[in-house]
Chains A and B, each alone.
Chain A
Amino acid sequence: SQQGEEDPQALSIQEGENATMNCSYKTSINNLQWYRQNSGRGLVHLILIRSNEREKHSGRLRVTLDTSKKSSSLLITASRAADTASYFCATEPGANNLFFGTGTRLTVIP
């Protein structure tokens, strides 16, 4: 499968703490995207990082990409209860398809 794998599958933290989730993939990619999904709803795009980029920031989000290890991480700083959601990475291996990972379920406890 070309799907990415997120780790951990589930994460529970206290409000104000940082949350880190990881994504590993199998083939070389042109870019990697992160999405958030609130329970049973559509996905929301968070950030896109291209294969020639190593780090990208957007507000409280920080994404890193290590193409040599075929992995990416998403860091959410100073988490809020509203950050409770599932987070997915999506990779584009050059076939013009997007392959979504299995997701990390984040719970932020107020």
Chain B
Amino acid sequence: KAGVTQTPRYLIKTRGQQVTLSCSPISGHRSVSWYQQTPGQGLQFLFEYFSETQRNKGNFPGRFSGRQFSNSRSEMNVSTLELGDSALYLCASSLFLSSSYEQYFGPGTRLTVT
């Protein structure tokens, strides 16, 4: 079974721009979660989608948004990029809600904002 894939793997953007990251979950998984990882803040939960509905949202500003498609693929968007948005963005999928089931993580998208 193919693992979780994320595209692109690396991205360099300029302050003020917007970016869209993509995540394809493991086949059959209905839950997709997004995390931001930085050296200073560690791993922080962004949001979780389950069957195209946002089920949970972390404490991030509205510039961070996401969506899930009927095939469970998910995208997250960050608008008006700031330097502090530079991070590794990780996507994870699980069969059902992530809190009760193991999550399978993708390799991440490394975003650098200059």
The answer to whether A42 and B105 touch across the interface, beta carbons within 8 angstroms, is yes
**A100 contacts the other chain (Cβ, under 8 Å)?**
yes
Question: Would A92 and B105 be within 8 Å (CB), given that A42-B4, A43-B92, A98-B45 are in contact?
Answer: no
Task: Encode A79-106 as 1/0 by CB contact (under 8 A) with B.
Answer: 0000000001000100111111111000
What range describes how many residues of A lie at the interface? 20 to 34
**B25 contacts the other chain (Cβ, under 8 Å)?**
no
- Point out which of A30, A35, A44, A97 has the most chain B C-beta atoms below 10 A from its C-beta: A97
Q: How many A-B residue pairs have CB under 8 A?
A: 62
Interface residues of A (CB under 8 A from B): 3, 30-31, 33, 35, 40-45, 48, 88, 92, 95-103
How far apart are the CA atoms of A102 and B41 in the complex, in Å?
8
How far apart are the CA atoms of A95 and B55 in the complex, in Å?
10
How far apart are the CA atoms of A103 and B43 in the complex, in Å?
9
The answer to whether B108 and A41 touch across the interface, beta carbons within 8 angstroms, is yes
The answer to whether B45 and A96 touch across the interface, beta carbons within 8 angstroms, is no
How far apart are the CA atoms of A102 and B37 in the complex, in Å?
11
The answer to whether B88 and A40 touch across the interface, beta carbons within 8 angstroms, is yes
The answer to whether B98 and A98 touch across the interface, beta carbons within 8 angstroms, is yes
Question: Would A100 and B42 be within 8 Å (CB), given that A40-B88, A42-B4, A42-B108 are in contact?
Answer: yes
Task: Encode B27-46 as 1/0 by CB contact (under 8 A) with A.
Answer: 00000010100000011110
The answer to whether A96 and B56 touch across the interface, beta carbons within 8 angstroms, is yes
The answer to whether A98 and B107 touch across the interface, beta carbons within 8 angstroms, is no
How far apart are the CA atoms of A95 and B48 in the complex, in Å?
12
- Point out which of B48, B56, B103 has the most chain A C-beta atoms below 10 A from its C-beta: B103
